[in-house]
Structure 1
Amino acid sequence: MSTMFGWLKRRTMSEQRKVAVPPPIMPSPSPAYTQPPVEWNAKYSPGMIARECRRIDDFVALTSPSAWRAVGGLLEHAPKAHQFVTSQEYAYNVALLERLPRAKFVLGIGGGMALDAAKIVAAAQGATLIMIPTVVSTGSVFNAGFPQRHDGVLRIIHKVASPKILLFDTDVIRAAPTHLNAAGMAECVCWVSVVAAWQWWCHNRRGGVEWDQSVADELIVAVRECVSCWVNDVDADGRPGIDAIRACAEWNRKRYGLHAWDLGLYYAIDHAFDVAFYFVHRRSLLHSEAVALGSLLSCVLYDGGFEETIHLLRSCGTRYLPAQIGCTWPEVRETLDHLHEHGTHYGHTNTRLADGPVSDELFNQMVTRVEGG
């Protein structure tokens, strides 16, 4: 293993391709940001799309092929245009804004990439935004930001747009492949790795946010309650009921009310693994599945929380093995080797990887524990 996965002696990715990050594609906050996510109007019901959208006839749709197949036939009117979104890169989205016709409404239909694109189109056009997630595996719901990328480097544009309504049509969501919905629970479970990283950071006197057991307890209880809601409302085929769908989606709003959210606990590498993977390999994994794997890697890195994290992910049916989610262990290793470097581009530098790359011994532990469970 140590020979196969020895640290790659190479120039940094930034040295190989000089990264000059352009300015944000739009100001923050934009005029389209009218309400914080905690106040957004979300509805959960079967048949919701046909009922709520029947009078909308002047719109463009940002979507994906599978989401459009699921939803397009439920709309009473055809859009002025619909675009299958394939990238979050700066140049792609500049071109997207230029070629779409203006409309009164912008519908974001699908997963995170489509929902995020709809935010910037609605903001640029001054249109009314309606978000229609077709799965619950995205943190883009109850999130007003847009993850702009340029040559793989991430820049978050905050407060882009607020939707008039968020429509969770439970018939459509239940019909999606089960692993796409189960992935969404990683957005909740990853907080166990956040607590573990924070505890390690404080125990090793690295500075930063002072340890607070009551904050940690509040967070872990909230995670377990959300997982319980999911597990108790998933059928034998893994399809979530309306209570499970609501619990998974609403976690993305509930987190804002937890004390941990305001503390800025950015020591774990759960989400950082996903954005660094794109930076290194220039392709995307399903975001929440990458977060699931990143959470487990973070637990090994910080020597805490692994058993609970993997138990909760398994209970939810969330995939995390590289072979399941579309990557390889050599790709994981290369991502970890460049994770700190990418973090320097957007301010995520207070991780243990700032001390140096993962050793062969530690990486082998990661492989063994994740694969062995």
Structure 2
Amino acid sequence: MEDTGNEFVTIYGRNLVGELPNFVHRPYLVVTMEDLWPKFESFFDKNLAGVYMVRTLEYEQLCKDLERLPNCKSVIGLGGGQALDVAKFFVWNQPKPLFQVPTAMSVNAAFGHRTAVRFQSKVRYIGWAVPEAVYVDFDVIQGAPKILNRSGVGDIFCYHTALFDWKLSHERGKTEAKWPYDPNLVAKSQRVLDSVLAALDDIRDVTEKGIRTLMNANRYGGAAFHNAGWNPRHIEGCDHFLFYSLEYLTHKPFIHGQPVCLGVYVGSLLQNNKAEEMLDAIHRVGVDIRPEAMGVSWDDVAEAIRKVPWYTKQAGLWYTIYDEVPITEEFIARVRENITAKFGPWQG
């Protein structure tokens, strides 16, 4: 099948943040996080129109904040998924050139067209923004906490469970008419997943090879939703649904890849789909999926697993293994036992 969709222009190098004031449209707005700004403030000059510190992804509050933004001719997204998503949201509502600078490999937000905003804690992907370029600075990425970089595998490992869910739906006659099963898309996502699974040590150690491998994979994944005709089936499934359920129940912020990787393992186990291999990969790359590492409890995770079928129905999400296999207390106990056996008891 012919490929007609494009992925975002992506530039790798060093001192890329320092070069931004030399070419972005002036004056410019920087969208970032409070904990990051002190590290990067010195790179910007008198043409800085203002700095927006991201504190929420709730749609209503973002709309209010939009009205108070300073006048600017371009927007720089500088940070992780939240900062990059909010930068996209602002540009969608007030069109102007966008320059995206991920400070970690934690998510694929830099490479996606839509913004993940919340409507009363329920996630929706809306909007449209294409950056002039995405700048991946090796020094910036390598200076980020390792857990942020390593957790970026979550948005790639989820292809494993998503592809199974899509095939299952196809076999059961539950596939959406607008998203018919497409072996070509399956093969593309599988190739990208395989490339990441082959570079786990480099990704764990955040080498240049690891950065290029994971960011190129996320470059594919970020654009894949749009490039498949707004079809998410080959890139997301039950893996993310557990994350959404956990977020909905706890109202807590997460490092995206941790609950997604948890969702990958739980989904793989439900699917009887190489679950131990995926758990080994998650452990080897250095993503801790124990609840305590995410600031929640095993009771929170257990309730989130139980609630996934309910959450997906009320949120209008698609057919996955959760619609087919009932959740039992024995299954939840098995999840806890296996994760504890792999990572060890929590000592924090």
The alignment's TM-score, normalised by the length of structure 2, stands at 0.84
**Equivalent-residue separation in structure 1 for 2:92 and 2:188 (angstroms):** 36
Query: Shift of residue 300 of structure 1?
Result: 1.5
Q: 1:62 and 1:268, CA in 2 relative to 1: closer, same or farther beyond 3 A?
A: same
Q: After the TM superposition, which residues 1-373 of structure 1 pair with which residues of structure 2 at under 5 Å, given as runs?
A: 38-56=6-24, 57-77=26-46, 79-158=48-127, 160-198=128-166, 205=172, 207-208=174-175, 219-231=189-201, 233=202, 238-255=204-221, 256=224, 264-265=233-234, 268-354=237-323, 358-373=327-342
1:166 & 1:266 partners in 2: Cα distance?
21
**Structure 2 SS opposite 1:313:** helix
* Partners of 1:52 and 1:230 in 2: CA distance: 31
Match for 1:90: what amino acid? Y
1:345 CA drift (Å): 4.3
Partner AA of 1:173 in structure 2: I
Is contact 1:322-1:329 (8 Å) kept? yes
**Structure 1: distance between partners of 2:282 and 2:14:** 27
Letter in 2 for 1:44: Y
Q: How far is 1:314 from its partner? A: 2.2
Change over 3 Å in CA distance of 1:49–1:343 after alignment to 2: same
SS state at 1:44 partner: strand
- CA distance change for structure 1 residues 199 and 68 in 2, over 3 Å: closer, same or farther? same
For structure 1, the residue ranges without an aligned partner over 5 or more in a row are 1-35
8 A contact 2:77–2:84 mirrored in 1? yes
Letter in structure 2 aligned against 1:226: V
- Tell me how far apart the structure 1 counterparts of residues 38 and 280 of structure 2 sit (CA, whole Å): 35
Cα pair 1:191 1:219 within 8 Å, conserved: yes
Does the 8 Å contact 1:144/1:161 carry over to 2? yes
Hey, what's the Cα distance between the residues in 1 that align with 2:185 and 2:22? 45
Query: How far apart in 1 are the matches of 2:56 and 2:273?
Result: 35
- CA distances 1:8-60 after superposition (whole Å, capped 9, x unpaired): xxxxxxxxxxxxxxxxxxxxxxxxxxxx9834221111111112333444111
CA spacing shift, 1:264–1:212, aligned 2, 3 Å: closer
TM-aligned CA distance change 1:218 to 1:37, over 3 Å: closer
Aligned-partner residue type, residue 68 of structure 1: W
Cα distance, 1:246–1:265 mapped onto 2, change above 3 Å: closer
Contact kept in structure 2, 1:267 and 1:351, CA below 8 Å: no
Q: How many residues align?
A: 332
Q: Secondary structure at the match of 1:141?
A: helix
**Residue pair 2:10, 2:135 contacting (<8 A) in 1 also:** yes
In 1, the alpha carbon distance for the partners of 2:102 and 2:293 equals: 23
1:49 partner amino acid: V
Could you tell me how far 1:357 is from its partner in structure 2? 5.8
Q: How much has 1:355 moved relative to structure 2?
A: 5.5
Q: Which residue matches 1:14? A: none
CA distance in 1 between partners of 2:184 and 2:72 (Å): 49
Contact 2:189 2:234 in 1 (8 A): no
Q: Is contact 1:106–1:122 with CA below 8 Å preserved after alignment?
A: yes
Q: Deviations over 1:118-151 (max 9, x none)?
A: 0111222222111111001112021011122121
Q: Which structure is higher in RCO with an 8 Å CA cutoff and minimum separation 6?
A: 1
Identity of aligned residues (%): 22
**TM-fit CA distance, 1:78:** 5.7
Query: Does the 8 Å contact 1:197/1:299 carry over to 2?
Result: no
Q: CA RMSD in A?
A: 2.9
